[in-house]
């Protein structure tokens, strides 16, 4: 087990060493990452962790991801199947205590994973889900190692896409992991959603452009505005009922132990907010990520820009930095 921490982030180092103190030194290590090989902080850490790896099977996780104790037992067998080059897991968003975080959790827990399955029903999966990814040393070195996609924002997309170009396929594990990121306000959730949208647009512009066709609330509202009357009202009511019940059922399937209010009324609101996110993906090419601003080049390449100097941005930067290194 290798944990990468920033050189200047002492709290993260202390916590990481405390977490690993019960394990033998040859099985676990905290690696202080002192240099920044490129603009992507996670991939830069992976570049420094890789020389310390001693096994052929590599499991890569984000810093804010919780996994069940049997993760490897459930996922490694998929990697042993002929032709499989990468295994990843579905993930759910935790911490939906506030309305902004509820919007984020609905986007992921109720809609995102079903969109992945719909895409997989049309063509083989050629991208990875970045929360947890398992691959082998042979595949990684065949594509040039972590450094080969150090300049790209969507590290999961790049790793999965490049492995499929080697003629290997991606498998989905039934294990669901959980993202436990720090709580965000409306501004933070909006920035997160816009960054994700612009990333997907840069990687898959045509599919993302046509993804707006699946927005039931938008087209229902346009139907009512252009053809008001009983038929339209009945049709929209039926479509919205199916939309809400299906989304809530999908959410419960991903997180069967979830309790608390469903916030079903937020689903139409979320759909309309997503229209703005979708439009924003095509109306700009800059992203704010972990307190740093980048220009997103065609294909998803990152070009660092000036770091924001406002107090709010500085606060966001220090907050995200804790999670980056945890």
In a domain, 128, yes or no: yes
Q: Which residue has the higher pLDDT, 77 or 20?
A: 77
Q: What is the pLDDT of residues 14-42, one digit of tens each?
A: 888 888 888 887 788 899 888 777 888 88
Where does 148-206 show beta strands of DSSP type E? 169-179
Mean pLDDT computed over 75-97? 91
In a domain, 92, yes or no: yes
pLDDT at 266: 87
R_g of the chain computed on alpha carbons: 21
Task: Give CA separation, 151 vs 44, 49, 138, 272, 308, in Å.
Answer: 9, 17, 22, 33, 20
pLDDT of residue 310 exceeding 50, the answer is no
Q: 209: pLDDT confidence band, cut at 50, 70 and 90? A: very high
In a domain, 58, yes or no: yes
In a domain, 218, yes or no: yes
pLDDT at 260: 58
Q: 261: pLDDT confidence band, cut at 50, 70 and 90? A: low
25 DSSP β-pair partners: none
Helix (H) / strand (E) containing 71? helix 71-79
Closest CA to 204 of 157, 243, 240: 157
In a domain, 4, yes or no: no
Closest CA to 273 of 201, 213, 214, 194: 194
In a domain, 5, yes or no: no
Q: 322: pLDDT confidence band, cut at 50, 70 and 90? A: very low
In percent, the amount of the chain with pLDDT more than 90 equals 50
Domain that holds residue 306: 35-325
In a domain, 52, yes or no: yes
Q: 320: pLDDT confidence band, cut at 50, 70 and 90? A: very low
pLDDT at 262: 65
Mean pLDDT computed over 45-74? 93
Domain total for the chain? 1
Q: What is the pLDDT of residues 161-176, one digit of tens each?
A: 999 999 999 999 989 9
Instruction: Tell me the pLDDT of the chain averaged across its residues.
Output: 86
Task: Give CA separation, 214 vs 115, 159, 207, 278, in Å.
Answer: 10, 27, 11, 12
pLDDT at 95: 72
Q: What is the pLDDT of residues 119-163, one digit of tens each?
A: 888 889 999 998 999 999 999 999 999 999 999 989 999 999 999
Task: Give CA separation, 195 vs 37, 242, 290, 294, 320, in Å.
Answer: 22, 29, 11, 10, 15
In a domain, 180, yes or no: yes
pLDDT of residue 312 exceeding 50, the answer is no
CA distance 53 to 238: 54
Closest CA to 90 of 116, 51, 57: 116
Q: What is the CATH number of the domain that holds 194?
A: 3.90.550
């Amino acid at each position: 087990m290798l944990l990468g921490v920033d050189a200047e982030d002492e709290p993260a180092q202390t916590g990481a060493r405390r977490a690993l103190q019960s394990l033998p030194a040859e099985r676990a290590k905290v690696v202080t990452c002192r240099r920044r090989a490129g603009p992507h902080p996670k991939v830069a850490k992976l570049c420094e962790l890789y020389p310390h790896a001693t096994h052929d099977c590599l499991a890569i996780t984000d810093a804010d991801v919780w996994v069940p104790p049997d993760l490897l037992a459930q996922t490694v067998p998929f990697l042993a199947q002929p032709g499989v080059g990468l295994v990843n897991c579905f993930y759910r968003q935790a911490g939906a205590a506030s309305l902004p975080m509820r919007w984020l959790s609905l986007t992921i827990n109720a809609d995102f994973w079903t969109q992945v399955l719909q895409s997989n029903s049309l063509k083989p999966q050629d991208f990875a889900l970045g929360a947890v990814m398992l691959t082998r040393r042979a595949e990684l070195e065949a594509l040039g190692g972590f450094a080969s996609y150090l300049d790209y924002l969507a590290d999961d997309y790049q790793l999965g896409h490049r492995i499929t170009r080697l003629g290997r396929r991606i498998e989905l594990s039934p294990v669901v992991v959980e993202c436990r990121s720090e709580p965000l306000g409306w501004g933070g959730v909006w920035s997160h959603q816009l960054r994700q949208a612009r990333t997907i647009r840069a990687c898959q512009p045509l599919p993302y452009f046509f993804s707006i066709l699946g927005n039931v609330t938008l087209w229902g509202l346009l139907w009512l505005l252009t053809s008001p009357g009983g038929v339209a009202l009945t049709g929209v009511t039926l479509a919205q009922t199916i939309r809400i019940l299906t989304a809530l059922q999908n959410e419960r399937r991903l997180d069967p132990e979830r309790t608390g209010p469903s916030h079903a009324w937020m689903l139409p609101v979320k759909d309309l907010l997503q229209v703005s996110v979708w439009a924003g993906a095509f109306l700009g090419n800059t992203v704010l990520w972990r307190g740093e601003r980048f220009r997103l080049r065609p294909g998803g390449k990152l070009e660092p820009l000036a770091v924001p100097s406002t107090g709010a941005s500085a606060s966001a930067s220090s907050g995200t930095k804790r999670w980056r290194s945890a």
